[in-house]
Amino acid sequence: MTLIVHHLGVSQSDRVVWLCEELGIDYELKKYDRSPIWAPPEYKALHPIGSAPVIEDGSIKLAESGACIEYILQTRGNGKLVATPGQKDFAEYLYWFHFANGTLQPALLLTLSLSRTGLGEDNEIVKRSEARRKQVLGFMDQRLSEVPWLAGEEFTAADIMNVTSLTTMRCFIKYDLTDYPNILAYLKRVAARDRYRYAMQKGDPDLNIDELTAAPPPPLQKAVAAVFQAHGR
Ligand SMILES: N[C@@H](CCC(=O)N[C@@H](CS)C(=O)NCC(=O)O)C(=O)O
C-alpha cells in the first residue's frame, strides 16, 4: 500500500516529507498551496481538523504531525531514526520529540498571536511571552552546545519534529536567533543533510534553506511574503 502524504506548502507537514526521504520509503506526495494564508478547501476537506499534515495509508487517514511521524516510523521505519528502551538516549529522544509540539511550537505561536494584537512591548503578557520564548530557545541552545543532535549523538525523528519551528515557521513568526549560536550551527548541520535538501526541494522549493540566518526575515517564501503584504501583516 502506497503511503500518501498530503503536504501543505510552507507548513509543519514538511516534517513528514523529510521523514519519508530520510527513511527512503515509497510514498506519494500530494502538494497543496496555501489559499491565501490558510489551507485550501480541498485540504480542509481531508480531515475534520483541517490542518496539515494529513497522511493516508489504505483506509487509514491520520492528522497531527507527531502521530503521523510515529505511525510512519512504526509501520515503515525498521527501527531507524528512533531510540528505544534500553538505549542510552531513549529518555532524551522522547523528551525532545515531544518538546517540539508540546513546548517549542506553543511558545512560538504565542509570539505570533500576540504580534497580531497590537499590544506593545511593555504589555505584561507580551513580556511574559517574550521571556518564555527566550527560555525555550535558550534551553534548546544549551542542549545543542552539548550534543550534535537533540537526542544525543545520532540524528533522530526528534530533530525532524523540531526543525520546522526553526525554519519554515519563521516565515510566519519573526524571531531572531542571534543569541543562539548553537541552534544556528545545528541548522547548518541540518541544511547539509542531503535528504533534508532533497525533501525541501520536493516539498517547498521556494524556501531558501541556504539562508537559515539569525536575523528575521528568515527564509521567506516569496509567495507567502506577497500574501502577507497584501493583507497588511
Ligand atoms: N499540532 C498540529 C498543528 C497543525 C497545524 O496547525 N498546521 C498548520 C500548518 S503549520 C495548518 O494546517 N495551517 C493551515 C490552516 O489551518 O488552514 C500538528 O502538528 O499537526
Give pLDDT tens digits for 185-228: 999 999 999 999 999 999 998 887 776 667 654 444 454 555 55
Q: Which residues contact 132 (CB under 8 A, 6 or more apart)?
A: 107, 110
Which domains, and CATH codes, for the chain? 3-76 (3.40.30.10), 90-230 (1.20.1050.10)
Smallest CA separation from ligand 1 atom 11, residue: 51
Which residue is it, cell 510514498? 27
* pLDDT, averaged across the chain: 91
**Dist. CA 210–CA 77, nearest whole Å:** 28
Residue 54 CA to ligand 1 center (angstroms) comes to 10
Residue 153 CA to ligand 1 center (angstroms) comes to 30
Conformation bin of residue 216: beta by default, left when phi > 0, alpha when psi is -120 to 50: beta
Q: Which atom of ligand 1 is nearest to the CA of 66?
A: 19
Residue to mutate (ligand 1; options 6, 7, 8, 12; most atoms within 8 A of CB): 12
Q: Quick one: pLDDT at residue 129?
A: 95
Q: Quick one: pLDDT at residue 41?
A: 97
Q: Which atom of ligand 1 is nearest to the CA of 64?
A: 20
Smallest CA separation from ligand 1 atom 6, residue: 51
Q: Quick one: pLDDT at residue 3?
A: 98
pLDDT: which is higher, 143 or 233: 143
Q: Quick one: pLDDT at residue 149?
A: 98
Residue 50 CA to ligand 1 center (angstroms) comes to 8
Q: Quick one: pLDDT at residue 62?
A: 98
- The confidence band for 180, taking pLDDT boundaries of 50, 70 and 90, is very high
Residue 51 CA to ligand 1 center (angstroms) comes to 4
> 0.75 exceeded by the pTM?
yes
Q: Quick one: pLDDT at residue 147?
A: 98
pLDDT tens profile 111-138: 989 988 989 989 999 999 999 999 999 9
Q: Which residues contact 19 (CB under 8 A, 6 or more apart)?
A: 69, 72, 73, 81, 157, 160
Check pLDDT > 90 for residue 5.
yes
Query: What does the pLDDT average to over 33-52?
Result: 94
User: 28 — phi, psi (to 5°)?
Assistant: -105, 125
Q: Quick one: pLDDT at residue 220?
A: 47
| CB 224 less than 6 A from any atom of ligand 1 | no
